[in-house]
Amino acid sequence: MSSAGRWAGGLAMAAALMWSLWSTDVSVRRLVEGAPFMLDFIHRMLPPDPSVLGQALHGALQTLQIALLGTSVAAVLAVPLALAAARNTAPRWLFYCTRSALNAFRAIDTLVYALFFVAAVGLGPFPGVLAVVVYTATVLAKLYSEAIEAMDPGPVEAVQAVGASRLQVLRWGVLPLLGPEFVSFTLYRFETNIRAAAVLGFVGGGGIGFYIQTYLRLLNYPAASTVLLVLIVMVMLVDFTSSRLRARLI
Amino acid sequence: MIRIRGLSKRYAGGAAALDGIDLDVQSGEFITLIGPSGAGKSTLLRCINGLVTPTAGEVVVDGEPVTGASREGLRAVRARVGFVFQHFNLLKRLSVLDNVRVGTLSRLGIWPSLMAHFPGTETERARRALRRVGLLELEDRRADTLSGGQQQRVGIARALVQEPRVLLADEPMSSLDPALSRSLMELLQYINREDGLTVIASLHVLDLAISYGGRIVGLRAGKIVHDGPPAAMTSSVADLIFGGARP
């Protein structure tokens, strides 16, 4: 890039930052003034109230179940979607249709889907599961389809060359190449979905988020902090286990 | 063993890769197929086991037609034709033994093959093939932990375990250094003599063909321009095949 271009780019970036600073009412004074309230907030959360531990664990378990079920169903749905969204397995028209549709649906976050499904099927964990399924299916379909496109055709050709049937080619040519990658992507999405499912309760989608929101609204901060602690421990445990599994796969 | 008549292949939007090939291969022959890159060596080998469908012409392997064969017919032909690839084409994450056992799939029922339940006799065959290529002690290793020369030996074992009538090798040495190329050529020649297996190996290096080929077939621009014993490979013939640009 020319030095003039670099200057112009730098100026444009600086202008965009200034504009955003001004538009979002950023104020150091308000931050400083708010500091005592933040400290007060944290102070009131301590010590955590152990009497709600049972509820917190129940909520955490439900969040885990929403993420597990939602991710698993999405993983299954994503396979045919990915085949339809990969350049080397789908005809041109289908590839473009599926890719565009996936991009459009992926622009909407799980939480927005949850609002939609709560309105459609009522409160509780079920609309939460549906929201996780829809968003995760679009994300996994994208990841899977990219893996399909990047797949080395050589080993598949080799399995065909020994006189294997179509099913055998899938089992011994395609599965060893794509299986570990698909599982790894899915585990990664499961980790992210634990966080996504933890806030679904804010909009009536079940799980631990319901308790966080309820106790914050009731100004019962010691109870809210217990729930938050349980959430933190659960997320860390899932991240740890899942990332170790992923490391072993590839 | 192999009869090829009027074989032509034109890829979509490209020049002819093969242009009217006639070739007869007797059982037990050792043929080296030479020619510059793009001469059609790879396409010719792939037409013999049906990995490439020709535009015109006829291929018959061991009495079975390859061209125009049903899917079942094609599988039956492929089961009897071993294929060794330039880039090995192993399943990198699977063990050496599993890679070799892939060669037994055509004899395996659908259930056992889906469940990866190989009968003991097939595992024995796989081990015997590994012993022949000198890799028995590596059977539990992941394929991608092996060196290039070792990986190509696994590729050869995978073809041997099919107990084929014909072995096709598509530039099996081009990813390997010269010393390894010689030892692999010797391995192919040994298999050819020991089992009476018909071998066709394409090479882009002329001296390997002269040292090891029982019969040298020269391909240029999709046509056979030379066919004879190593003694007939004069420098003018080499010029004809490689167009003066000898490798």
**Domain extent listing, chain B:** 1-28+36-80+200-205+212-247
Q: Quick one: tokens of A49? A: 């109230």
How many residues in total does chain B contain? 247
Provide the domain count of chain A. 1
User: In this predicted structure, what is the pLDDT of residue A2?
Assistant: 76
The proportion of chain A whose per-residue pLDDT surpasses 90, expressed as a percent, equals 74
- Cβ pair B49:A164 closer than 8 A: no
Domain B1-28+36-80+200-205+212-247 fold is: Rossmann fold (3.40.50)
Q: Residue B24 carries which side chain, given as an amino acid letter?
A: D
Q: Quick one: tokens of B241? A: 């095949």
CATH of the domain at A185: 1.10.3720.10
| Contact residues on chain B for A171, CB-CB shorter than 8 A | 113-114
- Cβ pair B162:A162 closer than 8 A: yes
What distance in Å separates residue B203's CA from the closest CA in chain A? 19
Chain B, residues 46-65, CB within 8 A of chain A, namely 49, 51
- Asked if residue A74 belongs to a domain, the reply is yes
Taking residue A231's Cβ as centre, other Cβ atoms within 10 Å add up to 23
Q: Is B232 on the interface with A (CB under 8 A)?
A: no
- Asked if residue A50 belongs to a domain, the reply is no
CB pairs under 8 A between A and B: 76
Q: What is the pTM for the complete model shown?
A: 0.80
Q: Is A248 on the interface with B (CB under 8 A)?
A: no
Q: Residue A238: which of A183, A184, A193 has the closest Cα?
A: A193
- Residue A249: phi, psi to the nearest 5? -75, -45
Q: Is A114 helix (H, G, I), strand (E, B) or coil?
A: helix
- Cβ pair B90:A171 closer than 8 A: no
- For A51-82, the pLDDT digits (tens) are 889 999 999 999 999 999 999 999 999 999 99
Distance, in Å, from the CA atom of A71 to the CA atom of A81, rounded to the nearest integer, reads 15
User: In this predicted structure, what is the pLDDT of residue B205?
Assistant: 80
- Cβ pair A162:B158 closer than 8 A: yes
- Asked if residue A153 belongs to a domain, the reply is yes
User: Looking at this predicted complex, what is its ipTM?
Assistant: 0.92
Q: Which residues of chain A have pLDDT under 70?
A: 1
Q: Which residues of chain B have pLDDT under 70?
A: 244-247
Distance, in Å, from the CA atom of B54 to the CA atom of B44, rounded to the nearest integer, reads 9
What distance in Å separates residue A159's CA from the closest CA in chain B? 7
Range of the domain at A170: 60-249
Q: Is B117 on the interface with A (CB under 8 A)?
A: no
